[in-house]
Amino acid sequence: MQNNIIAQSPEQVAQIGNFKAEVTVNSPGRVNLIGEHTDYNNGFVMPTAIDKSIVFYLKKNKTETQCRVTSLNFESTYQFDLSKPDEQGEEWTRYITGVTEEIKKRGRSLSGFDCLMFSNLPMGAGISSSAALECGLAEGLNELFSLNLSPLEIVELSQKAEHNYVGTMCGIMDQFASVMSKENHVIQLDCQSLDYKLVPFNIEPYALLLLNTNVSHSLSTSEYNVRRKECEQGVKLLQKWYPDIQSLRDVKLEQLEAHKNDFEPVIFDRCSYVIEENARVNAAASALEQNDLKTFGELMYGSHEGLQHKYEVSCNELDFLTDFSRNYDAILGCRMMGGGFGGCTINLIHQDFMEEYTALAKKAYKEKFDISLSAFTAMPADGGKVI
């Protein structure tokens, strides 16, 4: 199957060899089976790390504060001073600054280091290359400087790096999945308590197919933050009648519906989507337990509909692919994945149909949008680790 994963060139392999890393870390992206935009509402999600990642090669460089981080994919180096980092640089460099600054805020000391990174994670595809970048660097520095940060501290500081230095007010799902996942398992995570279960994930003869729209509409960061605010606005209003609720996770649909007329329709829709999506994640967890993939797939379609019509974070390309999948019985479920406005659909598809379907979807998508679709499978993998 064709994919858009970049292989290391012989020159890059040589560059990595000559670098003589002291620490090497593999930091994966993630998929999310169901539970979208629920994490920052203290709700439920079902992600796992996947077999696509960023690899970090790190070593100390004997200076007190000088750092050099090179992206082999971008052929670009970010050079900075730990004591006065550039907070306004290109977007990818702000993730780096974010991580070193958040580590310092936790009272850990760093000294000069050099880092090479190579990614085979498609960027902007909604499979969280950002969390892989933040968490992988944090894991590498933790090992290189013996910082004694726990996995959860790495998750939390990486999320804060994104809030404070990139400006996306993301939830915790992506970082949690990138760090805590286990091969052949999915995580069922309660984003309020951070209690989680690693659930064995064997869906044969089905598989997870990701179809990358190769579009990334510029709304993604701004609208993401708007959605978060809209949910908070909904909670604030609901607290008039239900003072005990802290987040939409505490609200029942009947409670919301009882006050429908007091809500702006948009805010009502946002809240009802989140409440329904939390219920879908719980239903999906039961379906998975019973190996009822048909029900699981229907819940995925339900999730997409909510994201399309109530939460309004989908786009024509994602809707087209989701509708297209409905024509085939060998596909049990499909939905947009991640923040939205582009990126991938995740398809629960019979393995025997994967090649044929990929060709059909590519042809139809090209005809409709004149854009090439890329496809790849995702296997649940271990979270980030030193290799």
Q: Is 304 in the site for ligand GAF (CB under 6 A)?
A: no
Contact stretch for ligand GAF (CB under 6 A) within 70-78, 86-94, 166-174, 373-381: 166-174
Q: How far apart are CA 290 and CA 40, in angstroms?
A: 28
Q: Is 230 in the site for ligand GAF (CB under 6 A)?
A: no
- Residue 318 or 354 having the CB closest to ligand GAF: 318
One residue of 134, 156, 174, 230 binding ligand GAF per CB under 6 A: 174
Q: Which of 53, 128, 51, 37 is nearest to 335 (CA)?
A: 37
Q: How far apart are CA 361 and CA 355, in angstroms?
A: 10
Cα→Cα distances 58→158, 183, 284, 387, Å: 18, 25, 40, 12
* Minimal distance, residue 12 CB to ligand GAF, in Å: 28
Sorted by sequence, the CB contacts under 8 Å of residue 11 that are 6+ apart come out as none
What x-and-dash track marks residues 335-364 binding ligand GAF by CB under 6 A? ---xx-------------------------
Cis (ω within 30 of 0) for the bond into 205?
yes
Contact stretch for ligand GAF (CB under 6 A) within 33-41, 110-118, 283-291, 350-358: 33-41
* Minimal distance, residue 21 CB to ligand GAF, in Å: 29
One residue of 43, 124, 171, 383 binding ligand GAF per CB under 6 A: 171
Q: Is 170 in the site for ligand GAF (CB under 6 A)?
A: yes
Q: Is 302 in the site for ligand GAF (CB under 6 A)?
A: no
Q: Is 37 in the site for ligand GAF (CB under 6 A)?
A: yes
Q: What is the DSSP string of 329-343?
A: TTEEEEEE-SS-SEE
16 burial level (CB within 10 Å; 0-12, 13-18, 19+): middle
Q: Is 173 in the site for ligand GAF (CB under 6 A)?
A: yes
Q: How far apart are CA 163 and CA 101, in angstroms?
A: 12
Active site residue 174: yes
Contact stretch for ligand GAF (CB under 6 A) within 171-179, 258-266, 323-331, 366-374: 171-179
* Minimal distance, residue 319 CB to ligand GAF, in Å: 17
* Minimal distance, residue 354 CB to ligand GAF, in Å: 25
DSSP state of 175: H
> Three-state SS for 255?
helix
Contact stretch for ligand GAF (CB under 6 A) within 31-39, 50-58, 70-78, 89-97: 31-39
Contact stretch for ligand GAF (CB under 6 A) within 170-178, 181-189, 255-263, 277-285: 170-178
Residue with tokens 């089905």: 206
Q: Is 39 in the site for ligand GAF (CB under 6 A)?
A: yes
* Minimal distance, residue 91 CB to ligand GAF, in Å: 14
| Amino acid code (one letter) for 101 | E
Instruction: Output the CA angle 32-26-351, nearest 5 degrees.
Output: 45
Q: Is 156 in the site for ligand GAF (CB under 6 A)?
A: no
User: Residue 337: CA atoms inside 13 Å, Cβ hemisphere, count?
Assistant: 32
Sorted by sequence, the CB contacts under 8 Å of residue 213 that are 6+ apart come out as 315, 317, 318, 321, 342, 343, 344, 345, 365, 371, 373
Q: Is 28 in the site for ligand GAF (CB under 6 A)?
A: no
Pick the catalytic residue from 114, 174, 269, 382: 174
Active centre residues (catalytic): 174
Which stretches of the chain bind ligand GAF, using CB under 6 A?
Answer: 36-37, 39-40, 128, 170-171, 173-174, 338-339
